[in-house]
Amino acid sequence: MPELIFRQPDGTSRPVTTETGGSVMQAAIRSNIRGIEAECGGACACATCHIYIAPDYLDCIPAPRQDEEEMLDGVCAERKEGSRLACQITVTDALDGITIDVPDRQY
């Protein structure tokens, strides 16, 4: 099972072991990761699961679809190169060890 490492804005990190096939958002919610709100439940409709993917893992995930790009245009925290919505990223074995930065705010 892949291990995802969620890093908070204060620099603290928390590893989460999760099954493949679900979303990064689901893994965060099940593990009570602070800062991942996921108000729409994964429907790509609210952008409250905004995260930053480490640059060395961007090639391990599909590019964002148009609807995700549109939602990312309205995120509250700074949009960066690795900005993604956690609900749109499926956990695969390729993500084992990934560092996921949680933004300082979702609202």
What CATH number did the domain enclosing 21 receive? 3.10.20.30
Q: Does residue 45 lie within any of the structural domains?
A: yes
Rounded to whole angstroms, the Cα distance separating 13 from 105 reads: 17
Please report whether residue 106 resides in a domain.
no
Buried b (16+ CB within 10 A) or exposed e, 8-19: eeeeeeeebebe
pLDDT category of residue 26 using cuts at 50, 70 and 90: very high
Note the pLDDT of residue 59: 94
**Would 88 be classed as within a structural domain?**
yes
pLDDT tens, residue by residue, 31-72: 999 999 999 999 999 999 999 999 999 999 999 999 999 999
Query: Would 24 be classed as within a structural domain?
Result: yes
Position 10 in a domain: yes
What residues make up the domain containing 91? 3-101
Number of domains in the chain: 1
Residue 18 lies in a domain: yes
User: pLDDT tens across 66-96, in order?
Assistant: 999 999 999 999 999 999 999 999 999 999 9
Dihedral sign of CA atoms 57, 6, 77, 37 in order: positive
